[in-house]
Amino acid sequence: DAGITQSPRHKVTETGTPVTLRCHQTENHRYMYWYRQDPGHGLRLIHYSYGVKDTDKGEVSDGYSVSRSKTEDFLLTLESATSSQTSVYFCAISERGDSYNEQFFGPGTRLTVL
C-alpha cells in the first residue's frame, strides 16, 4: 500500500469555522490531489499540486485553499466551512504527470459541517 495518511479521519464542525485537513505521504511523489466524494457525483477534484509551492485549481475549488510547503504534506483549508462542504475528502498522490500514471488514494476524511 502507498504510504498515504490523512488527518483527522473524522471531524464535526460548525458553520463558519475554519477547518484544515492534512495529507501526508512517504512515497516522495511529486503530484498530490484533493477530491471530495458525494453521492451521485463520484469524486470531484478540488485542487492539486505538481510540486512544492506549485498548486492549481480543480473543478470544485470555490471555498477551498491549499498549501504545500514540503513534498510530503498537502493541506486543504476551508476558510469558513459551510454545510455544503459536508463530504468525504480524499487525498491522492501520483509519481509522474504522464497520461497513464495512476493515482494512489488515502483512507479519506469524513467532514460534517453543522
Partner 1 sequence: AQSVTQLGSHVSVSEGALVLLRCNYSSSVPPYLFWYVQYPNQGLQLLLKYTSAATLVKGINGFEAEFKKSETSFHLTKPSAHMSDAAEYFCAIHTGTASKLTFGTGTRLQVTL
Binding site for partner 1 (CB under 8 A): 4, 31, 33, 40-45, 48, 50, 56, 58, 90, 92, 94, 96-108
Beta carbon of residue 17, minimum distance to partner 1 (angstroms, whole number) = 25
Q: How far apart are CB 102 and partner 1 at their closest, in Å? A: 5
Q: Which is nearer to partner 1, 54 or 79 (CB)?
A: 54
Nearest to 89 by CA among 30, 28, 16, 13: 13
Taking the complex as a whole, the smallest distance from the CB of residue 4 to partner 1 amounts, in Å, to: 8
**SS3 string of 45-75?**
EEEEEEECCEEEECCCCCCEEEEEEECCEEE
Angle of CA points 108, 9, 82, to nearest 5°: 85
For partner 1, give the closer residue by CB, 30 or 63.
Answer: 30
